[in-house]
Structure 1
Amino acid sequence: MEMVMSVMAAGLLLISSGSGQWEVNIKIPHFLVNGTVGHSVWLLVEIDPIPQRAEITWKFSVESLQVPIARFDVSENKSKIFPQTEFEGRTTLHHNHTLQIDNLRVSDGGTYTVTVTTRQDYTEEISLQVYEPVSVPTMELIQNVSAERCNVTLRCSVGSGSHIHYTWTWLGSNVTDEPVEQVSGNPGELEVSVGLSHSIHYCCTVWNPVSEESAEFRIETPCTKSQEALSSWTKQATWVSVLQICLGGTVLLVLMVLLVASKFCTSLRPRTTTGAPSHTPHNLPSKT
């Protein structure tokens, strides 16, 4: 009798354990998901177990609001995409409950929540960052020549892209007078000190988590050319100054000659007097 009672008690205990509420586990990527503007992204989720009477809902957090995107009803095996949202026409809820977003926009970046609703809610969050891909960079040379050394600044710029990072790589064999120095305040510029007979060969790489582009810049002896240009400009400026001085002296000399000639011509003119004219007799009578 005691043995029968023990078996019955064990059966009740087993039934009691089996009729308890199961814990729903939601597995999601615990890292930042990256997306590209104009492309698609998949927000992966794994739910285990899935209760027979449950709803699985995806929402997007905007400031303090949560915008519903899609919902799946397990009991009816039906999916619903919520209309009149910024995601309308761009989302798909797959059978494994993964949310697909197409034609990504920068504004799609943020926090997404997936909630399994049974007798209680089980919720997890996924963070998405959307990047604009970088364009191919362009490079230009900015020179600052002095008598002691030649400072060369390379500028790397892009036409499009977001969250841009710059990486400079030295590709040449030139010897620099000083270490490579990053210009403060603008990561897209690099300043180097180059000898007069040295060449420069650098690569600028622009990148973000979804794209990468690069461009090379090479020029032979940029400082020698700069010095020659500076010397040529100095000579031209000197000749211009000399010419200005010569022209100024010539004009002054011409003015002085004209002034002297004018005075000389004035002195040659006949003088005239005022009053009655005087007559000198030619035939005077002789006294006898």
Structure 2
Amino acid sequence: MGMDGGSSTSDIFLSSAAGSEDIITVNGILGQSVTFPLNIQDSQNVENIVWYTTETSVAFVKPNLVTAVPEVSVTHQSYHGRINVSDKNFDLVISLLRKQDSRIYQADINSKDKSTKSQRFSLHVYKQLGMATITSHVKPTGNGTCNVTLTCSVEEGENVTFSWTPLGVGPILHLSQGPGGREGAITCTAQNPVSSSNASMDAKSLCTDVARGSQLHHKWMLSVMLLPILLLLAVGLLLLFCRRRRQLQPHLDASSEKTQYAQAGVTRLAESHIYDDISLSKVVPSKEDLTIYSKVQRSDKTNSQESRPSKMSNYAIVD
């Protein structure tokens, strides 16, 4: 319901209270705004409006003929800053709704002709629903069929009702699914008086997931059964290898000793060759050594022969 200076239509949820035609049920969302519509036909005849609850007064409203803006006096502390009145039809607006605002409100409309008309409203403040989710529990029954239990839930909310499209109502749904069975989406709708939330899942995938899970389980069981066999085979091969190695160990040791002995003989032979070379080099001088020795002897002889005449000449001169 639209109004001047008030909230949008998304903030207001109105319905007639069953069995109480003089009480209008108004549903509001926590933290948002709600409007109490007075449906005044002749606003010029209004003298004042008094708003109150069963526990306390709320506000006093008086038209202003000069400015055409109603004068509003809030009469209870808890409503200060949250009360507004529309300019034309005097509808009351409560903003920033709280849970404790849920109660019965009454408006006494006093006219200039000294008559009074009363209207009552029953306000219920609800929290907006959170996200809806579907959980499934699937039990295989063989031949690709399964029994499925679907549960719909919401994170937060009160006074919530659940319905399934196209299957039924309630938060829990039971169905049987098999090859060539139901296809398309299964949708759960969670709803309270001020909001709703939906969740869907593919019906065809329910038993498909079970079959895939069954195959994985079968492969896992087969792997578990084969694991001990593989371990026994590995242990048998290891024992066989150790036994074969022990059988070959004496032959390997003998071969190793022969190899070491041969290496020692080769080493000794090499040492004898080195010793022979050293002995020969000490006993027999090389040709170069003989040549140098011969040249040295010749040089000494020449020097001695040259020195003797020189001494005699010197002697002759002295005489």
Structure 2 length normalisation: TM-score? 0.52
Report the 3-state secondary structure (helix = DSSP H, G, I; strand = E; otherwise coil) of the residue aligned with 2:142.
Answer: coil
- Residues 204-219 of structure 1 correspond to what in structure 2 (within 5 A)? 204-219=188-203
Report the 3-state secondary structure (helix = DSSP H, G, I; strand = E; otherwise coil) of the residue aligned with 1:86.
Answer: helix
The 1:145–1:84 alpha-carbon spacing in structure 2 relative to 1, beyond 3 Å, is same
Which residue does 1:143 correspond to in 2?
A: 138
**Greater Rg by CA:** 2
8 A Cα contact 1:143 1:152, kept in partner: yes
8 A Cα contact 2:64 2:71, kept in partner: no
- Residues 189-204 of structure 1 correspond to what in structure 2 (within 5 A)? 189-200=172-183, 201-204=185-188
The 1:49–1:195 alpha-carbon spacing in structure 2 relative to 1, beyond 3 Å, is closer
Q: Is 2:232 the partner of 1:239?
A: no
8 A Cα contact 1:70 1:79, kept in partner: no
1:91: Cα distance to partner? 0.5
The 1:133–1:42 alpha-carbon spacing in structure 2 relative to 1, beyond 3 Å, is same
Q: Is 2:35 the partner of 1:39?
A: no
Task: Tell me how far apart the structure 2 counterparts of residues 133 and 241 of structure 1 sit (CA, whole Å).
Answer: 53
Which residue does 2:264 correspond to in 1?
A: none
Return the match for 1:167 from 154, 163, 174: 163
Amino acid of the structure 1 residue aligned with 2:52? K
The 1:213–1:139 alpha-carbon spacing in structure 2 relative to 1, beyond 3 Å, is same
Amino acid of the structure 1 residue aligned with 2:74? F
1:130: Cα distance to partner? 2.0
**Comparing 244-253 with 159-168, which one deviates more in the overlay?**
244-253
Percent of aligned pairs with the same amino acid: 26
Amino acid of the structure 2 residue aligned with 1:89? G
- Residues 71-150 of structure 1 correspond to what in structure 2 (within 5 A)? 71-72=60-61, 79-82=71-74, 85-94=77-86, 96-115=89-108, 124-147=119-142, 149-150=145-146
The 1:203–1:247 alpha-carbon spacing in structure 2 relative to 1, beyond 3 Å, is same
1:136: Cα distance to partner? 4.6
Q: Is 2:52 the partner of 1:59?
A: yes
8 A Cα contact 1:56 1:72, kept in partner: yes
Report the 3-state secondary structure (helix = DSSP H, G, I; strand = E; otherwise coil) of the residue aligned with 1:31.
Answer: strand
Structure 2, unmatched stretches of 5+, are 1-20, 243-319
The 1:69–1:194 alpha-carbon spacing in structure 2 relative to 1, beyond 3 Å, is same
Structure 1, unmatched stretches of 5+, are 1-27, 171-179, 259-288
Greater helix share, structure number: 2
Which residue does 1:156 correspond to in 2?
A: 152
Report the 3-state secondary structure (helix = DSSP H, G, I; strand = E; otherwise coil) of the residue aligned with 2:202.
Answer: strand
Size of the alignment, in residue pairs?
216
Structure 1 length normalisation: TM-score? 0.56
Which residue does 2:273 correspond to in 1?
A: none
8 A Cα contact 2:85 2:91, kept in partner: yes
1:250: Cα distance to partner? 7.6
1:36: Cα distance to partner? 2.5
1:126: Cα distance to partner? 1.5
Report the 3-state secondary structure (helix = DSSP H, G, I; strand = E; otherwise coil) of the residue aligned with 2:100.
Answer: helix
1:121: Cα distance to partner? 8.6
The 1:164–1:57 alpha-carbon spacing in structure 2 relative to 1, beyond 3 Å, is same
8 A Cα contact 2:38 2:119, kept in partner: no
User: Could you list the per-position Cα deviations for residues 236-283 of structure 1 after superposition, in whole angstroms to 9, with x for gaps in the alignment?
Assistant: 21331342366469869999xx9xxxxxxxxxxxxxxxxxxxxxxxxx
1:198: Cα distance to partner? 3.3
Task: Tell me how far apart the structure 2 counterparts of residues 225 and 139 of structure 1 sit (CA, whole Å).
Answer: 15
Report the 3-state secondary structure (helix = DSSP H, G, I; strand = E; otherwise coil) of the residue aligned with 1:32.
Answer: strand
Task: Tell me how far apart the structure 2 counterparts of residues 181 and 253 of structure 1 sit (CA, whole Å).
Answer: 64
**Comparing 77-86 with 87-96, which one deviates more in the overlay?**
77-86
